[in-house]
Amino acid sequence: MKIKAYLKPQCGWSMGVRAIMTKYDLEYEDIDIINSQENYAEMVTKSGQPLSPCVEIDGIMQADVSGEEVEAYMLKNKLVGGSTKETGSPTDRGCSDEEHERMREGQSQPVRFF
C-alpha cells in the first residue's frame, strides 16, 4: 500500500492521522504542508481543496479527513485488519485551545499557508 499524508507538523487532526499509521504499523510519506509551498500546492491540486489533513492511499485521495475517517476507510476497504493497539492520541479532533496557545507561545513567526 502506498500512502502519502499531507500533514501539518503540529495539528491535532494531523497527529490523529499519524496515530492511525502507527496503530497499524503502516509505512507512509509524511508530507509537511506548512514549511513547503510546493507540498501545499501539490495537496491543493490533488485534493481540489485547501484543507488538511489529506491522505492519498494507492492513488485515492481522502481530503480533509480525521485519523478516525482514514481508519474507517482502510477497514471498509480491507486495507488493514482490526487492531486493538491504542493510538496514544485522539484521532477524531483538532487541537484544544490550550494546545493552540502553547504552540503560539513557542513560535517566533506565525504559522501560515502559502
Q: What is the pLDDT of residue 65?
A: 97
Ordered DSSP codes for 29-53: EEEESSS-HHHHHHHHHHHSSS-S-
Q: What is the pLDDT of residue 71?
A: 96
- CA-to-CA dists, residue 3 to 40, 64, 74, 79, angstroms: 16, 15, 11, 11
Cell of 15: 497527529
Domain ranges of the chain: 3-105
Of 99, 55, 53, 94, which Cα lies nearest the Cα of 74? 55
Q: Which fold has domain 3-105?
A: Glutaredoxin (3.40.30)
Give mean pLDDT in consecutive 10-residue pieces for the chain, a chain of 114 residues: 95 94 97 96 97 97 97 96 87 75 60 52
